[in-house]
């Protein structure tokens, strides 16, 4: 059963809210690796790393395979498409607002330049 988009988005943001999980994703962005290698730089137990991996896996951000005794982990960036889609609407909103602000600033600059020219003409 698939999750509704909003639930998936909530799970993704919840998974990304933790700095350890973001660090794990950053490491996995470099390539597939084992759980023990993922755990090495962290000052937490291997079971704690496994719990973080389960959260990332439930959010669809990673996949874990089975290769004999090794459980390789790899990032699944497709889960971030939902976040990117959600942010796109806000990106459009802010870009439109910034464009309007830029237009307003250009008008103010033109008015200021015009006022400066009028002032300079009056002194001649």
Whether 68 is in a domain gets the answer yes
| The model's pTM | 0.70
Whether 93 is in a domain gets the answer no
pLDDT digits (tens, 9 = 90+) for 64-123: 887 667 778 999 988 888 899 999 999 999 999 999 999 999 999 999 998 888 877 766
- Cα 58 to Cα 17, 53, 61, 62, 103, distances in angstroms: 14, 9, 8, 8, 45
Of residues 1 and 97, the one with the higher pLDDT is 97
| Alpha carbon 112 to its chain's center | 40
CATH code assigned at 13: 1.10.10.10
Whether 23 is in a domain gets the answer yes
Whether 56 is in a domain gets the answer yes
| pLDDT at residue 60, as a whole number | 93
pLDDT digits (tens, 9 = 90+) for 38-47: 999 999 999 9
Taking a C-beta distance cutoff of 8 angstroms, is the pair 63, 73 a contact? Answer: yes
Take residue 6 and report the two structure tokens written for it: 């909003």
Whether 114 is in a domain gets the answer no
């Amino acid at each position: 059963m698939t999750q509704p988009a909003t639930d998936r988005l909530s799970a993704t943001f919840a998974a990304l809210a933790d700095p350890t999980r973001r660090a794990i994703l950053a490491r996995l962005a470099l390539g597939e690796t084992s759980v023990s290698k993922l755990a090495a730089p962290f000052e937490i137990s291997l079971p704690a790393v496994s719990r973080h991996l389960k959260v990332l896996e439930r959010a669809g951000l990673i996949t874990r395979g089975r290769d004999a005794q090794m459980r390789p982990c790899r990032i699944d960036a497709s889960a971030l498409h939902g976040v990117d889609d959600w942010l796109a609407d806000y990106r459009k909103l802010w870009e439109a607002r910034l464009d309007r602000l830029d237009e307003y600033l250009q008008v103010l600059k033109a008015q200021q330049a015009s006022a400066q020219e009028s002032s300079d003409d009056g002194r001649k």
